[in-house]
Amino acid sequence: MRRRAPVVLVVVGIVLLVAWNVVYTQRVLTRIRDAERRQTIILQRVFRAQADSNPAVAAAALQDVIFQLQQSGVPMVQLSADGKAMGGMNLPWGSDFTDPRIPAYITQLAKQNTPVQDPETGTVVYFGYSDLVEGLRVIPLLQAGLLGALLLAGVYALVVRGRAEREHVWAGMARESAHQLGTPLSSLSGWIDLLDDEVTEQGRHAKPMMKSAVDSMKADLERLERVAHRFERIGREPKRDDVDVAVLVDRIVAYFKRRVPTRSAAVTVRAHRPRDPVVVKGDAVLLEWVLEALTKNAVDALAGRGGKIDVMVERRDDGTVRLRVADDGPGIPPKLRRRIFDAGFSTKERGWGIGLSLARRIVEENHGGRIALVPSDRGATFDVILS
């Protein structure tokens, strides 16, 4: 649903923009028809005054013309030849043309339209924009801005859609890998059970090396089964169990402590967690995968140079839980930081570019959280925020 949101937003925006344009166009047409009707009425009054020599008819026609001009909504101010206000209509504050704000308003009207001067009397009429003209000036700019925003949203939707399709491919590959691993894992489990039975039958006569090898194979088989189980869960409905993420931190740190260099270019992996449980709603298998992926990236960043990795968990004041994996390695170049979560992108020469992509998918889509690379003085620091 989150992947479809940009597309839905663009479609809704286009529909609203078209609807608004239709409604506004109809409103403009109505105003234009009203203006044409007023012009017709003015002409009718003028023709009547021309056809009738009675001064009263001419005066009434003049009053009608003034009334129709007032209905047009065009603001006007008339100045005498010596620059004094003689009259005004449709002013922002009413019909008082003696208001002290008149000089400033005349300057504003002069910027909108060229004033009309009577060559015989020297009077000048300043006029501005009616509501209709003002709208026709501003509304197209607003529509162009909205259209530009929709185009940008459309481009963003295409980018998001492309990213979602790539992530879908990676998720499909992960589930297919889990399916393909199922048969050989079952076979290996059977063979290991046979070897274990053999060692048990030999008892004290069993070779220590064989017993150690069987125990190691059991551990590796359990590890492979857990990895296959993780791949199988990608793309399925996530669980909403109570998960103590502090336990996950301990487990991940213990796992990597046994596998990182301890002498030349030593890597130190440390856990930082409160004594009390830190429980969130989620899928323990997938959350452990996220922590493992982030820690594995940190280990790879320190390969050949040594350093330390801190895996932390804390409950924040707003009730959310923050998981943090930080290292003091070389860090990530600024120009690559925006792409590190893209499916298929990797800073490693032989990397597949699926670890961080799937981690973001697990955190954001399966758990409604956030994962981000946060600024740090040295190395790379990743935060996972869960509610």
* Contact assessment for residue 72 and residue 130, using Cβ atoms and an 8 Å cutoff: yes
Does 146 share its domain with 197? Answer: yes
* Contact assessment for residue 214 and residue 199, using Cβ atoms and an 8 Å cutoff: yes
Mean of pLDDT over the chain? 83
Q: How far is Cα 100 from Cα 113, in angstroms, rounded to an integer? A: 22
**Residue 17 belongs to some domain of the structure:** no
**Residue 165 belongs to some domain of the structure:** yes
Does 187 share its domain with 302? Answer: no
**Residue 16 belongs to some domain of the structure:** no
Rounded to whole angstroms, what are the CA distances from 147 to 7, 65, 319, 325, 334?
15, 42, 40, 42, 32
**Residue 33 belongs to some domain of the structure:** no
**Residue 171 belongs to some domain of the structure:** yes
pTM, 2 dp: 0.53
Q: Looking at residues 45-73, what average pLDDT do you find?
A: 76
* Contact assessment for residue 126 and residue 79, using Cβ atoms and an 8 Å cutoff: yes
Q: Where are the beta strands (DSSP E) in the chain?
A: 76-79, 85-89, 116-117, 124-127, 241-244, 267-272, 279-282, 307-315, 321-327, 370-374, 381-386
Does 262 share its domain with 325? Answer: yes
**Residue 15 belongs to some domain of the structure:** no
Residue of 249, 228, 227, 221 lying closest to 323 (CA atoms): 249
* CATH classification of the domain holding 344: 3.30.565.10
Q: What is the pLDDT, as a whole number, of residue 369?
A: 95
What percent of the chain stands above pLDDT 70?
89
Checking if the pLDDT of 5 tops 80, the result is: no
Does 119 share its domain with 223? Answer: no
| Residue ranges making up the domain that contains 229 | 136-233
Does 249 share its domain with 331? Answer: yes
Least confident stretch, 89-98, 124-133, 155-164, 272-281: 155-164
**Residue 4 belongs to some domain of the structure:** no
Q: What is the pLDDT, as a whole number, of residue 344?
A: 65
Counting runs of H as helices and runs of E as strands, what totals does the chain give?
A: 8, 11
Instruction: Residue 49: count other Cβ atoms within 10 Å of its Cβ.
Output: 19
